[in-house]
Amino acid sequence: MNGHRFTLAGAELCVMPSGALWWATERILTVSDLHLGKSERVARRGGPLLPPYDTDETLARLENDIAATDPARVICLGDSFDDDLAARTLPDMARARLLSLMAGRGWVWITGNHDPGPNGLNGAQLAQTALGPLTFRHVARPDSAPGEVSGHYHPKARLTLAGRRITRRCLLTDGHRAILPAFGAYTGGLAMDAPELDALMQPGAVAVLIGPRPSPVPMRPAGRLRNTGRGS
């Protein structure tokens, strides 16, 4: 498998082609923003009737990564479900697939803004968790200690290469924190030059483009340290 390795607060991490984060020495697999049950929630609320296959697709991606890494522990960084009801009304098939993934390994559900309540599943449900030098939470805190791993923003990169526009999900890291891309099938993204992300990431931040071979590019174009606030 192709991955991109980097170091965060002394931990050797690897960005996988799916957008998951693999910590080999601790055998921890981290995924963020699965948004399971999104199409169901949209339909329930009178929105468009989206194809009801997103949960299957997201679980299939997770099964792939778990089969490839056999993690001792899986951390879901929040917004694992599109809302609390989606967690409780997960279809039987999907629930069975999830339970078989959880069997025999540790599982942490970090709570997110979409799924703050109890999800009725096994595993630990926590607001955040610290493991060695790393702290895992849903939304990055501006004042966090080094070694923060979070999700929430669904960062994506837009590049113009050889006259073409390329849009990819990406993981942002600056040596202080890492912000994971959304893992779920039906997820959009926030451009990495958005002010929210710009404010969080230090100069020299890197965006690792998700794809068959995750590749790092500078988060900000050469010659610009931080956004001046004029927009970009």
Partner 1 sequence: MTAPPSALPPVIADWFAARDWSVHPHQHAMLERAAVPALLLIAPTGGGKTLAGFLPTLAELGANPAPGLHTLYISPLKALAADIRRNLATPIAEMGLNIRVEDRTGDTSQTRRRRQRADPPHILLTTPESLALLLSYEDAPRIFAGLERVIVDETHALAESRRGDQLMLGLARLSALCPGLRRVGLSATVEDPPALAHFLAPHPDPCAVLIADSGPAPDITMLDTPTPPPWAGGGGRHAIPAILDQIARHRTTLIFHNTRAQAELFFRDLWLANADNLPIAIHHGSLSREAREKVENTMVTGGLRAVVCTGSLDLGIDWGDVDLVIQVGAPKNVKRLVQRIGRANHRYNAPSRALLVPANRFEVVECLAALEAVREGDLDGEPRGPGARDVLCQHILATAAAGPFNADTLFAEVTRAGPYTALSRPQFDACLEFAATGGYALRTYDRWQRLMQDADGRWRLRDPRIAQTIRMNLGTIVDAETLKVRLKPSRGGAPLGEVEEAFAATLTHGDTFLIGGQVVRYEGLREMVVEVTRSPAREPRIAVFTGTRFATSTRLADRILALFREGDFSALPSHTADWLALQGRVSRLPTPERLLVETFPRDGRHHLCVYGFAGRNAQRTLGLLLSQRMEDAGLAPLGFVATDYATLIWGLEEITAPANLLESNALTAAFEGWLARNAVMKRTFRTSAVIAGLIERNQPGKRKSGRQATFSSDILYDTLMKYDPGHVMLDITREEAMKGLVDFGRIEAMLARVQGRIDHIACPRATPLAAPLFLEAGRIPLKGMAEQRLIDEAAARLMEEAGLGQAHAHHAEKGV
Work out how close the CB of 76 gets to partner 1 at its nearest, in angstroms, rounded to a whole number: 17
Binding of residue 67 to partner 1 (CB under 8 A): no
Q: Is 76 exposed, middle or buried (0-12, 13-18, 19+ CB in 10 A)?
A: buried
Among 32, 40, 61, 179, binds partner 1 (CB under 8 A): 40
Residue 162 · residue 194 · CB < 8 Å: no
Interacting residues of 65 by C-beta distance below 8 A, sequence separation 6+? 16, 18, 20, 22, 29, 31
Residue 103 or residue 162: which is nearer to partner 1 going by CB?
162
Binders of partner 1 among residues 92 to 151 (CB under 8 A) are: none
Amino acid at 126: L
Segment near partner 1 (CB under 8 A); pick from 47-55, 96-104, 132-140, 142-150: 47-55
Binders of partner 1 among residues 148 to 167 (CB under 8 A) are: 153-154, 158-166
Segment near partner 1 (CB under 8 A); pick from 103-111, 116-124, 130-138, 203-211: 203-211
Work out how close the CB of 142 gets to partner 1 at its nearest, in angstroms, rounded to a whole number: 19
Residue 172 · residue 205 · CB < 8 Å: yes
Residue 205 · residue 145 · CB < 8 Å: no
CA terminus-to-terminus distance, the chain: 35
- Helices of type H across the chain: 38-44, 54-69, 84-88, 92-102, 195-200
Work out how close the CB of 160 gets to partner 1 at its nearest, in angstroms, rounded to a whole number: 5
- The residues binding partner 1 (CB under 8 A) are 1-7, 14, 16, 22, 24, 40, 43-44, 46-54, 56-57, 68-69, 91, 153-154, 158-166, 182, 185-190, 204, 206, 209, 211-213, 215-218, 220-222, 230-232
